[in-house]
Amino acid sequence: MNSAQSPGDGTRAVRAGLPEPVKHEPTLPGPVFAAHFHLPGEPTGPYTYGRDSNPTWTLLERAIGELEAPGVPVETVTFASGMAAISAVLFSQLRTGDAVVLPSDGYQALPLVREQLEAYGIEVRTAPTREDRQLSVLDGARLLWIESPSNPGLDVCDIRRLTEAAHRAGALVAVDNTLATPLGQRPLELGADFSVASDTKGLTGHGDLLLGHVSCRNADLAEGVRRWRKVVGAIPGPMEAWLAHRSLATLQLRIERSCANALALARALSERGEVGGLRYPGLPTDPSYPMASLQMKRYGGIVSFVLPDRAHAERFLDALRLVDDATSFGGVRSSAERRGRWGGDAVPEGFVRLSAGAEDTEDLVADVLRALDEAVDEPATRPLR
Ligand SMILES: *Cc1c(COP(=O)(O)O)cnc(C)c1O
């Protein structure tokens, strides 16, 4: 431990949300599978019906809260997916006639959310994450939605500055903290009202479940989000919640390795002539670095770059052996994809988003460099393998 007052991230991660030790009980109680709980007499909580509450969620929510806001009372509500968490904030807070500011370069499902918000008579404004451009459209807004670093462009904005401006304008602020995880950045400490994430990614980190959460300090805001979960029923399964809690114990180890691997890859990629548009917020030459180094504790495990064209990028992905060609990110196994194949992001055809996993750094860098070498050749001249 660093000191009695402030244990380090690894220490907090391994103990996050654990109940007080009880003789003959496990350290982390197993998942509680229950649609309903014994409930004679007055129907009072904490556990009544499985859509409202579950002891496995309670422990996970406490754990995530301890990471999002160490030493500070905070409420966390866990959801079936990141989108369920995002929708819960937007749809519980916004009303017909309100205006909301979204990033124009955020997660690829945000345009779908926008359509839905507009169908309910909510005005949606967008601006890019870079250079705090969302500041220019805040006037009269009810809520500002920030995604920093943005996915997949890895731009970073000044969360504290935007939050202060939004609060002055009377707007609430939510930050999608998926890329950073609470060990990389703590939006509530930067002033945000909501820290929201897809825990499908780095927080749980094994690519085997979908989950999301919302954390906030204000009990009324939390109540609105919890009520929305009850209404929509976007609840996590007890097994997913338990797996997520189990995965938190290794969060610091996983994130440290993945950040170190991402930085090593970014350095290696920066030496390559065929690689353009390289982005990693932790690379001192990156446009995001000055701000990221002030507000982030760790820079995340994602590197993005552009290969000359679609075919070149496909040859590269095909030649990788330690990196799966798959969507999503933040897992212990490295993955990469040609983001343009989805059609949702404004990126060049050769744009690759690479998520660095927990492999040994030398192995991962060597695999990526070898795949780049192989991808230079046209298929006809490449030996079959
Ligand atoms: C993946 C992702 C989401 C959506 O999360 P799901 O768990 O897939 O619903 C939202 N925001 C960001 C930044 C993401 O990367």
Q: Delimit the domains of the chain by residue range.
A: 9-248, 251-381
Does 151 contact ligand 1 (Cβ within 6 A)? yes
How confident is the model over 337-363, as a mean pLDDT?
Answer: 94
Cα 292 to Cα 149, 193, 300: the distances in Å are 8, 20, 10
How confident is the model over 198-225, as a mean pLDDT?
Answer: 98
Entry pTM: 0.96
- Tell me whether the CATH fold assigned to 9-248 matches the one assigned to 251-381: no
378 confidence band (pLDDT: 50, 70, 90): confident
89 confidence band (pLDDT: 50, 70, 90): very high
Å from CA of 382 to ligand 1 middle: 37
Q: For residue 79, what are the contacts with CB-CB under 8 A and spacing of at least 6?
A: 85, 88, 211, 212, 213, 214, 229, 234, 235, 236
How confident is the model over 4-30, as a mean pLDDT?
Answer: 94
Question: Does residue 98 sit in helix, strand or coil?
Answer: coil
Does residue 37 register a pLDDT over 80?
yes
Task: For the domain made up of 251-381, give the CATH fold.
Answer: Aspartate Aminotransferase, domain 1 (3.90.1150)
Å from CA of 107 to ligand 1 middle: 7
Counting ligand 1 atoms within 8 A of each CB, the residue from 108, 200, 211 with the most, and so the one to mutate, is 200
Does residue 203 register a pLDDT over 90?
yes
CATH of domain 9-248: 3.40.640.10
Q: What angle do CA 142, 148, 152 make, to 5 degrees?
A: 120
| Per-residue confidence (pLDDT) for residue 382, from 0 to 100 | 55
* Phi and psi at residue 46, to the nearest 5°: -80, -25
Q: Which residue has the tokens 């609840």?
A: 235
Å from CA of 82 to ligand 1 middle: 5
> Looking at per-residue confidence, does 106 or 6 come out higher?
106
Task: Please write the tens of the pLDDT for every residue from 40-81.
Answer: 999 999 999 999 999 999 999 999 999 999 999 999 999 999
Å from CA of 100 to ligand 1 middle: 19
| Buried-exposed string 162-183: b where 16+ CB fall within 10 A, e elsewhere | bbebbeeeebbbbbbbbbbbbb
381 confidence band (pLDDT: 50, 70, 90): low
Does residue 3 register a pLDDT over 90?
no
Does 176 contact ligand 1 (Cβ within 6 A)? yes
Counting ligand 1 atoms within 8 A of each CB, the residue from 148, 151, 199 with the most, and so the one to mutate, is 151
Å from CA of 83 to ligand 1 middle: 6
**Paired residues of 355 in beta bridges:** 302, 335
Does 210 contact ligand 1 (Cβ within 6 A)? yes
Task: Please write the tens of the pLDDT for every residue from 129-153.
Answer: 999 999 999 999 999 999 999 999 9
Give percent above pLDDT 70 in the chain.
Answer: 97
Does residue 84 register a pLDDT over 60?
yes
| Per-residue confidence (pLDDT) for residue 380, from 0 to 100 | 61
| Per-residue confidence (pLDDT) for residue 4, from 0 to 100 | 58
1 confidence band (pLDDT: 50, 70, 90): very low
Give percent above pLDDT 90 in the chain.
Answer: 95
How confident is the model over 98-117, as a mean pLDDT?
Answer: 97
